[in-house]
Chains A and B, each alone.
Chain A
Amino acid sequence: MKHLQDQDLQLYLDQQLRDREKIDHLRHCPLCQERLDTYEIVFSGLRQAPQWTPSPQLQDKVMQKIKPDPAGSVYQQLLQVLAGIGMFIGALSFSLPYLHADNYLESIKKIQAPSLKPDFSLLEKFNFLPSLKSMTGDFNFNYSLLIIAAGVLLLAALMDHLIGLARGRTASQR
């Protein structure tokens, strides 16, 4: 039988050589045995890990970088509170005119172009707010001030968020 090829010798060492005849030849042929020995030495060296190992501080450094930022968490909560306040104020400012429904409808009528002559009867028919008005009494609030305050708060939050982004910190950064 012909001597084994290199690929067969390597497969034998990988325990993947299945050909019975080749395995028998290898066991009895001194030439193939010797060639196998040279591969065996190389294979044994390949099973040794590279001499380099990472710094012992690797784990600490990674854990430090992925640690949730408590400041970021407070910041996130603050942002959520501000957004909540903003939404509440927005909703209130949107609904306040309805609390003074008569005045509101009057003012709407005034800003319409006279040529269109819109019919507000349907709106008045479905407007349940006058009854709400009677429930709320003479509630009168300077909501313009509220809108301005909400605007200032949201602007401050937005600016802070942008500054945070510019510094490489985001609320979602863990």
Chain B
Amino acid sequence: MNLSDDKTLIESILGGHHTDFAVLIERYQGLVAHVVARMVPRVSDRDDLCQDIFIKIYRNLGAFQFRSKFSTWIATIAHNTCLNYLEKKRVPLYQDLQVADDDAETQSMEWIPSAEGTPLDRVETRDLRKTLEREIEQIPLPYREILVLFHLEEMSYEEIGEIMNLPAGTVKSYLFRARRFLRDRMLALYHMEAV
């Protein structure tokens, strides 16, 4: 049986071929891992959460109605499972992110282009990635999750909104704020004044 499309795979699993669930794990392990890694700070708990998520997916597979994309449905289960975990651990879920006004940078006009490029151009890529990873871990939860779903999973504002139970406009606004914040932090860390 060709299990390359999700519908056939799901029908096969529901039809009693439970070993085909391994194909589903293989296919969606990356998505689940990305959501868990971005939402759960404690590394030692992440593996157990991934297991719980896949077991929930297996038990609820019959309830999937094909009304949305299967990846959106899986990400929703991953999101809710992590949220429950964080609530139990009393991790603060919704904090704001302070970023400068959108116009502040361009209006001030203090940004003078340099012939040598930006300071970020002069930093080693590996070093930049490490710093960026550390900075991402510092920003509040919804922003982190939106960044991973948008940039890694290439989901639309609407799909992310469905997963996180947020309006698409809010998702878009959070995404811009998070990226602006990260850019400003990176510039500040590498001693360049953007404003």
Report the Cα distance A31→B109, complex, angstroms: 9
Q: How far is the CA of A126 from the CA of B184 in the complex (A)?
A: 94
Q: Does B5 contact A (CB under 8 A)?
A: no
A170 at interface, CB cutoff 8 A:
no
* Contact residues, B36-50 vs A (CB, 8 A): 36-38, 43, 46-47, 50
Beta-carbon contact of B47 and A54 below 8 Å: yes
* Cβ contacts A45-62/B at 8 Å (1 or 0 each): 111111111110011011
Cα distance, A37 to B176, chains bound together (Å): 16
The residues in A between 5 and 20 inclusive whose CB is less than 8 angstroms from any CB of B are 5-7, 10
- Mostly, the A contact residues are helix
Kindly state the separation between the CA atoms of A66 and B20 in the bound complex, as whole angstroms: 12
* Separation of A161 and B50 alpha carbons in the complex (Å): 31
Quick check: B106 and A3 within 8 Å, CB to CB? Answer: yes
- Inside 8 A of A51's CB, which chain B residues have their CB? 37, 133
Once the chains bind, are A58 and B186 in contact (CB under 8 Å)? no
User: Closest approach, in angstroms, between the C-beta of B55 and any C-beta of chain A?
Assistant: 6
Q: Which residues of A contact B29 (CB under 8 A)?
A: 54, 58-59
Interface string of B56-70 (1 = CB under 8 A from A): 001100000000000
Q: Is the interface of B mostly helix, strand, loop or mixed?
A: helix
Evaluate contact between B18 and A68: CB separation under 8 angstroms: yes
CB proximity to A under 8 Å, residues B9-53? 18-19, 21-22, 25-26, 29-30, 32-34, 36-38, 43, 46-47, 50-51
* Pair count A-B, CB < 8 A: 126
Task: Say yes or no: A48 contacts B55, CB within 8 Å.
Answer: no
Report whether B128 and A41 are in contact in the complex, using a CB–CB cutoff of 8 Å. Answer: yes
Known: A2-B106, A6-B176, A54-B29. A49 touches B152 (CB 8 A): yes
Chain A residues with CB under 8 A of B118: 34, 37-38, 41
- The count of residues in chain B whose C-beta lies closer than 8 Å to any C-beta of chain A is 54
Cβ–Cβ contact A63 & B113, under 8 A: no
How long is the Cα–Cα vector from A3 to B136 in the complex, in angstroms? 28
Contact yes or no, A38 B113, CB < 8 A: no
Complex CA gap A52/B30 in Å reads 10
B150 to A: closest C-beta gap in Å: 8
The answer to the question of A33 belonging to the interface, with a C-beta cut-off of 8 Å to chain B, is yes
- Produce 1/0 per residue, A11-45, CB < 8 A to B: 00000000000000000001101110111011101
With A5-B103, A41-B120, A49-B34 given, name 12 new contacts (CB 8 A): A33-B113, A37-B118, A42-B183, A45-B133, A47-B151, A50-B34, A52-B37, A52-B46, A58-B47, A58-B51, A61-B51, A67-B18
The chain A residues found within 8 Å of chain B, CB to CB, are 2-7, 10, 30-31, 33-35, 37-39, 41-43, 45-55, 58-59, 61-63, 65-68, 174
Nearest 7 pairs of A and B residues by beta carbon:
A45-B132, A50-B37, A46-B151, A3-B106, A52-B37, A30-B113, A62-B54
